[in-house]
Structure 1
Amino acid sequence: MEPDLIQNSQVHHNNIEEFGPKFKKLRITDNVRELQTVLRDKSTSRGDFIFFADRLIRLVVEEGLNQLPYRTSKVTTPTGQVYDGLRYEKGNCGVSIMRSGEAMEQGLRDCCRSIRIGKILIQSDEDTHEAKIVYAKLPPDIADRKVLLMYPIMSTGNTVVKACTILKDHKVREENIILLNLFTTPQAVHLVLNKFPEVTILTSEVHPVAPNHFGQKYFGTE
């Protein structure tokens, strides 16, 4: 098992949810738990919220990059030594689910300076509450890429299911989709993986109650 990951998620109240090998969760350190606590605290100022959210996003993005393929690479150091290293395989991109997913874009760009980022806008129908596609702008060659799908809060999983459907409609292979998420509920994980069992989900926390105020607080639209 990778040291920075826990393959199974421990939910509060001592419930253990088995999600399988495609589900990955950050190892909970005191630092991670502090970030989660500040983001859930209703008294947190917007400035602090953005600062702590960006820190947690960076941790998730960094771990998400570990899910991408690497190739061996030999380089020569300034002292003339040969170093056996690694480089990313080419063909990765990000896709944010608007609007909350856009909060994760800068964290990805901070780690991958020239990465291409597409966008998907999905809204719920006021009458049926069904998730519907409103807008999608994706790299034209996305079918040949690994896709880091960004969506920080997953309560029901319906929006992510719709986004994955859109990606598959654009010929993206299911196993090439990696969801970067901050907080999710158990039922959302089950829904996504039941629909798309080869999608990788990476999150920092599984909890019965997701902090659905995230987008409003981050963007100042409360």
Structure 2
Amino acid sequence: MLIHPWDAPTDDAEWQDWLAAHDFGQLAVNGPAGAPPMVQPTHFAYDPVHREAITHLARPHPIWRALEERPTVLLSVVDDYVFIPGPWQAAEGAPPEHGVPTSFYAAVQLTCTAHIVDDPGAKAALLQRQTGHFQPEGGSAPVAAGRAPYGRQLSGVRGLRLEVREVHAKFKYAGKRSEAVQQRIAQRLTERNGPGDEAARGHQERRRAALSGTRP
């Protein structure tokens, strides 16, 4: 992923906070020689303390053999994306039709080493961590090996710990544009008010404030 300086995170907290609220991504795994990568959409829980993401998949999944052979994987998360029409980006004083259309989006890519979890106790603990992330309010029985209601179902899944080796994050929200053009884009996003526009405008204004050293 190409990351220009004006699209890079302002600090680690920016991408970590965003990732904490965006816990569904695509796990890309190297396929056999001559075959395309395998891509699996999945919910996951990211743990910044241990620098790992955790998830689980069904035991019959063909991804396991690929992981055993090549454990280096990529977990990719993209969201808060919108299309920006060309006239919105036209330079000050230039004809609107000379503006270049583009996409706004936030993206985090985690390069990881995959560790398969098959021990029943460790697998139950991993699933309990996931449940705690997605259901912090509770409401589900504890996940424990050999105990109802989930103990018998543990054999049907395998756990997966994704040990993070590298992080590439990008927040593409007109960071290289002038203040006037950025304000114009923010106003157009407000007026359009389509899917994703509010989140995109929030990113743009937050980053503009952070980079200028002021508050929005």
In terms of Rg, which structure is larger? 2
What is the TM-score when the length of structure 1 is the normalising length? 0.23
